[in-house]
Structure 1
Amino acid sequence: MQSFRDAKYDVVLTDPVVGGGVLLAHRLSLPLVLNVRWTVQGEGHFAIAPSPLSYVPLPGTELTDKMTFPQRMKNFLYYFFTRFQIAYVTDPNYKPFVHRYFGSDVHYMELFQAADIWLMRNDFTFEFPRPTMPNIVYMAGFQCKPSKPLPQDLEDFVQSSVFLEYDFSLKDWQ
């Protein structure tokens, strides 16, 4: 810890899928920037913003934001199951450490939620409508490589394709 203090870092940039960087940032009292899609407790949006289960489906449920009542029940049960997993798998690993170094009144998820900036590695245009927080910055595609040109034979094929145009005017629908 002393070598970290001596280095006089300005900020901690970490992926919160494992909590080490978050704990280190709070221990050193440094600003915290999360490069996130998932946290140690699941999908990042559910950790930071209110996500009503009635219209925000959990990842993995294969549901949309237009859920029927049975689908909403499925979403709720899936949420309950993930909370159960967190309580019996994740919490026992983090709680003792956080209580020892940050106090017994601190929950480790509060340390995640106190991050200064959340750099979300997804595009909000592909997300379901949901509440979000002002410190979330969407940065989809930052890890993508620039596209390369198509091989000439494939480029020729694409350019040779014929697009049919049709004027869909109101008279066609009368």
Structure 2
Amino acid sequence: MTLTNILEQDISILNVDDLDQVIAELTNVIHSACRASMHVKGRGTKPKAPWWTEELETIKREVVDLHHQLHAAKRQGLPLNQILEARKSIKELYASKMRDESTRHFREFCELQTKENVWSLTNRLLKTATPRRPPVTLNRDGTYTTDSQETAKALLDHFYPGDSPDTLPRHHE
């Protein structure tokens, strides 16, 4: 902002159009400063697990390629046994490597715990989290319930209405 003359303008004498222009300039300065000083997350990129490796990515690509080969062979009427066996073995390898890598990463996480162990940390976090409660008020025919007792009764009446008398012949049967 110090590199522009935006701070030197007296906004009290500006009309609406000039003020809009100053706001747009200020917004652009802030955006460019943020882009220059912070990492901008790319659009459409899915975050990967912290334990994800290049080896897992390579095996995943092999599974996807075999899947595509399988469908192409199926469309062409070619025999599928060899591709199915290869796909099955590579998927088993992929699942095993993922399981091993995530377990290894979790073990490293557990070993990094110092003063408090993982379970005390987890229990402390769970204890401080507020439990989810059902709504105290409920809109019923344009009016709201006033307390939890009335809300509970309204929910029970709605989902479990009272039984009607057995008036149909099939009821008697």
- TM-score normalised to the size of structure 2? 0.25
Q: Which has the higher strand share?
A: 1
Scaled by the length of structure 1, the TM-score of the pair is 0.24
Ranked by relative contact order (alpha carbons within 8 Å, sequence separation 6 or more), the top structure is: 1
From the CA coordinates, give the structure whose radius of gyration is larger.
2
Select the structure that is richer in helix: 2
